[in-house]
Structure 1
């Protein structure tokens, strides 16, 4: 019973990491849903598909009896590489059990899936707190805050395109100079990876309410409750009641927003009279922290008391590992961002010294990058890369999809999940995870 199965070739040197020697390429059939489950689970566990199939066939052949029938309707072509002789043994076992090869292979793959369950999402013991900041406006802090949060909240049982290189920024510079990278290892390579599956809260801490509006929500009314009122010790209700979900199939119920209110323009004035004002944001968010794995704060472009409160909130807490929480600095590849960066880091370091805080930098994100702008852009990117500490952890291109997502008031990763900016946001989320 070959069921349209043929040996395609026997290639020397096609060794699996799990097994040395030759492998034989075989072609069979699998239903699409089972092939997709296999692809996702193998990616989740960091296992090659050929290794998973090899193990599944071994499990199947070792069974004392045939497992339950798998629905193979709509099965189509599926190929993989197996150790020499395994396929012949498998065919003989299937013949002895009077099971078609297509059914036997489906049972073997299903058996492997059952023996290798999906890993649980690794949730931090202390909720991570990420503050996206820069004193200069217009650098795209809001887009980076939203994109990072969206990438962290994507479904852990679905594959998404992710840029996997740690050398992408260097590759951009080489391209702009007309150089080519190492042909054996493409620094701009993209792979399908499972979503991170974390529960994320985006906090719009900017009185301009850009994050709130970009994600399709209305700023909170001035005469109602708001984060500002909670920080000032004048709450009109529970902060949890202000939080709204962000729609998107890939986010499930994991992505939420705490909208802003224009009353945040008055926050610095209100904080001036508040006890321990640096801790005001932390006191306000404390009741809802346990509901989330990650809290991302989109900071205002200022260096006032509100920024002090944000920096304090992002400090490293007792028993928290370094680099879990901290400041994610968003810049552009131009000179004014460098001046603003110096002002911001001075404020962060002064606050850390004054209050004996450990404030980690999660890295620098170069946003709105476009090498076609020539020397100004490329030389600025190179200057950011030369800083080293904190290092550049992401480069996001200046492309139309982000602007379109803002126009239609949808999350970028829901609006255009495969665009270059979305791929870059996923890389950024993993780089700082």
Structure 2
């Protein structure tokens, strides 16, 4: 199994459908289309052609496109067959393709992998494309589109170029100090720029939580004592019966989750086991999971139908944002003290639900003022960026070793940045030096 194979796959959605798109990529794409359809369309021109198997049996008639490499999605010769989306039709065309020697079914993500290997996209763009396909909310779509189009890669590449330039200047100062056209002591300007770059990376990493919320959703845990109305609230917000609701305390034993779209953001609600003292081993495990979920949440909704009596059961949540929610206001004692809850609701009457939704929305990131969503979204991004920032910091330390060692720290920083996009730094420093200083003219 090599990149010399020509691969094919159904690239459109589930069958049956009005149209099904079968994609090919590899050196035999052009020849295969010629044999299936009788001729190869002009590059990037759609043609309506018959599609026949190798025995000449008519399979379908569809739109055929041919994309010669290297200016195709994968960088290889590619083709698309847009055919009728019936299961039998698609099965017959795929079977016909599998009969060609040198053709095989593509593995998961193999088209994008070839695009990366052939330099058509970097890792961040590939990840953005994957996120774009599964995006369910407007903000997820915007974030994924920004990354898939290379917006985030442009930022990282600009940082890599600054690191490469800094190293080039240091190398020039070390190796070509006797040359007339090499300025003396470039260190001051270089280290000023590296200090600014370190701060830019720090500021970028500070947006990691925002990127996490946009991509994966705001994790909201609904907690409280048994029968406080947690499952009823989950069902009400989901507009369907997700959780079982009874008058029996301890009905919910495990974590139940549902995803909502709130102001274009994904919000993931988690219903949890009621918090109380119990001897039931299963219920105790559910309560343990409740506390774990609260510790990992972006926001905790603490529900109670009594004025603050249940808050002490919830433990120390000082490190997490908390909304205290008074429930069952349709039958609540009017003696709730002022400030006893942040929001008062009744699932039965609907009272206060909009206020609760508005309160949750205040914990969503404010991205309207920004023109781009250049945010780190994956743990591997954060880890490599943190490494890059640490190496720059080491190079900037006043008591750091000589220029050659400090340049090595910058090389390691550039290598860490290269791991984010998949463009690990290659040593083109002399090219930079020659263009900057005309050395060796």
Bin for the TM-score computed over the shorter chain: under 0.3
Give TM-score scaled by structure 2 length. Answer: 0.26
Greater length-normalized contact order (CA 8 Å, ≥ 6 residues apart):
1
Give TM-score scaled by structure 1 length. Answer: 0.26
